[in-house]
Structure 1
Amino acid sequence: MADITPAPSSASIEEATLAGGCFWCLEAIFNQLQGVIEAESGYSNGQHPAPTYEAVCRGDTGHAEVVRVRFDPRVISFQDLLEVFFASHDPTTLNRQGNDVGTQYRSGLYTHNVQQADTARQFMVELERRQVFGAPLVTEVAPVRNYHPAEAYHQRYAAHNPHQGYCAYVVAPKVAHFRERFQDRLKPG
């Protein structure tokens, strides 16, 4: 029998804004999850009113590279997104993910409401209690502010540039690890 899940109405769609290193990695991961309508690369929680990739990379704007995830909570919960988020980057390294160093690569959860903030903090307390990472979490939890979508060429960058060095040697292994661990949550196809 065919799946007859109704299309989500705009009233049922929620957003989450996540920072976990290079946005190309997180966007490639979150766009493959059931219940995710779209993952968009962008910049958040900085001071500059009109950040550009070059200025963010220089550390001039205070923004983090983020992915804004639009999702249907009837299919995937915010807590499920947190599980994937924490499995997809190292939340114990301050302003760094692998060889990517700078405040733009910080680990952050930029919340859209009080419920998200409470859920994020409770989730992190549980990770710390269970000592999942063996080191303290440095993930920042703060209200989302000053969000800007990244330039068009960054959207679905890894999908459009699979042979580019960073995509082949950094993004692809992270995506493969994600796909193996979360097989049951992948979109069909």
Structure 2
Amino acid sequence: MSSQTITLGGGCFWCLETAMNTVEGVTSAYSGYSNGHADNPSYEAVCTGETGHTEVVQVTFDTAKLTLREVLEIFFALHNPTQLNRQGNDTGTQYRSGIYYHNDEQKIAAEEIVKEIEDNKIWPDPVVTEILPIDNYFQAEDYHQDYFTNNPQNQYCNMVVAPKLANFKKTFVSKLKKS
């Protein structure tokens, strides 16, 4: 198996991690914090906005089953890349849209897809997704992993994650893992 890892920030990591873990070819998707200046930050510290970290999901995928392009298309379908430092009601620099690439191929692919989105005017506003090399990554606390699955009673999950996941599954039905 040939695998690749990319780190993506698209708002609250619970949404992105949940969706990515349902995709055929994704071998792991872990919530974490990236590209900040504090070592081993906590969720509480990241939420202050003072650590500079983005809430991210580090996605590892089998390149024989899923292309980098497909991963990026899924990423852009899961959030609004034109909202600076926010997604919906979640506001703060930790919710910024970002692609934190691990190699030049990922950088080029990210730049190409952003250009296509802009050229085709998919969104009425400009894309603000930052495309930067991965500077650091710290896996989030255990309770953030598989949060949606493990916390079905959570109001945020029911109001935000569940509808987003349902729409995602309709759009990408052919890409979902078989149960």
Question: What TM-score comes out, normalization by structure 1 length?
Answer: 0.94
Count, aligned residues: 179
Structure 2, unmatched stretches of 5+, are none
Distance 1:170 1:188 in 2: 24
Tell me the equivalent position of 1:165: 155
> Which residue does 2:109 correspond to in 1?
119
Question: Cα distance, 1:162 vs. partner?
Answer: 1.4
- Residue 5 of structure 2 aligns to a residue whose secondary structure is strand
Match of 1:70 in 2: 60
1:56 aligned residue: 46
1:5 is matched with none
3-state SS of 1:15 partner: strand
Question: Partners of 1:143 and 1:33 in 2: how far apart?
Answer: 24
**1:16, 1:170 → 2: CA distance?**
24
Q: How big is the shift at 1:13?
A: 1.4
Q: Establish whether residue 14 from structure 1 lines up as the match of residue 21 from structure 2.
A: no
Match of 2:21 in 1: 31
Higher alpha-carbon Rg: 1
SS in 2 for 1:92: coil
How far the C-alpha of 1:163 sits from its partner, in A, is: 1.5
Q: Which amino acid aligns with 1:181?
A: T
Gaps spanning 5+ residues in structure 1: where? Answer: 1-7
Shift of 1:164: 0.4
Cα distance, 1:146 vs structure 2: 1.5
SS of aligned partner of 2:7: strand
Displacement of 1:96: 0.5
* Alignment partner of 1:46 out of 21, 25, 36: 36
Once the two structures are superposed, what CA deviation does each residue of 1:108-131 show, in whole Å capped at 9, x if it has no partner? 000000110001001110110000
Q: Percent identity?
A: 52
Q: Secondary structure at the match of 1:39?
A: strand
CA distance in 2, matches of 1:50, 1:184: 37
Instruction: Give CA deviations for 1:35-62 in whole Å, capped at 9, x if unaligned.
Output: 0001000000000012100000011210
Indicate the RMSD between aligned Cα atoms, in angstroms.
0.6
> Hey, which bits of structure 1, 4+ residues long, moved more than 2 A?
none
3-state SS in 2 of match to 1:162: coil
Q: Distance in 1 between matches of 2:80 and 2:87?
A: 7
Q: Give the drift of 1:23.
A: 0.2
Q: Which amino acid aligns with 1:127?
A: I
Deviation at 1:138, TM superposition (A): 0.2
2:164 paired residue among 174, 181, 184: 174
Letter matched to residue 162 of structure 2 = A
Q: Tell me the residue number matched to 1:84.
A: 74
- 1:19 is paired with a residue whose SS is strand
